[in-house]
Amino acid sequence: MQLKEIKIANLHTENNVFLAPLAGYTNAVFREICYNLGAGLTFTEMVSAKGLCYGSEKTEELLCVCDGYGGIKACQIFGSEPEYMRRAAESEALAPFELIDINMGCPVPKIYKNGEGSALMNNLPLAAKIISECKKSGKAVSVKFRTGLDESRIIAVEFAKMCEDAGADMICVHGRTRDKIYSGDVNFNEIAKVKSAVKIPVIANGGVFCAKDADELIERTRADGIAIARGAMYRPWIFAEITGLENIDKKAIVRGQLKKTRELYGERFACVFMRKMIGFYMKGLPNAAKYKERLFKAQTCDEVAAILEEVNFY
Say if CB 28 and CB 66 are below 8 A apart.
yes
Q: Grade residue 6 by pLDDT with cuts at 50, 70 and 90.
A: very high
pLDDT at 57: 84
Q: Grade residue 28 by pLDDT with cuts at 50, 70 and 90.
A: very high
45-78 residue pLDDT tens = 999 999 999 988 888 889 999 998 999 999 999 9
Q: Grade residue 175 by pLDDT with cuts at 50, 70 and 90.
A: very high
84-106 residue pLDDT tens = 999 999 999 999 999 999 999 99
Lowest mean pLDDT among 67-76, 140-149, 179-188, 257-266: 179-188
Q: Which residue out of 75, 106, 134, 301 is catalytically annotated?
A: 106
Does 53 qualify as catalytic in the annotation? Answer: no
pLDDT at 202: 98
Q: Grade residue 25 by pLDDT with cuts at 50, 70 and 90.
A: very high
Helices 301-308, 288-295: axis angle to 10 degrees equals 170
Beta strands in the chain (DSSP E): 7-8, 11-12, 17-19, 41-43, 47-48, 73-78, 99-104, 140-148, 170-177, 202-205, 225-228
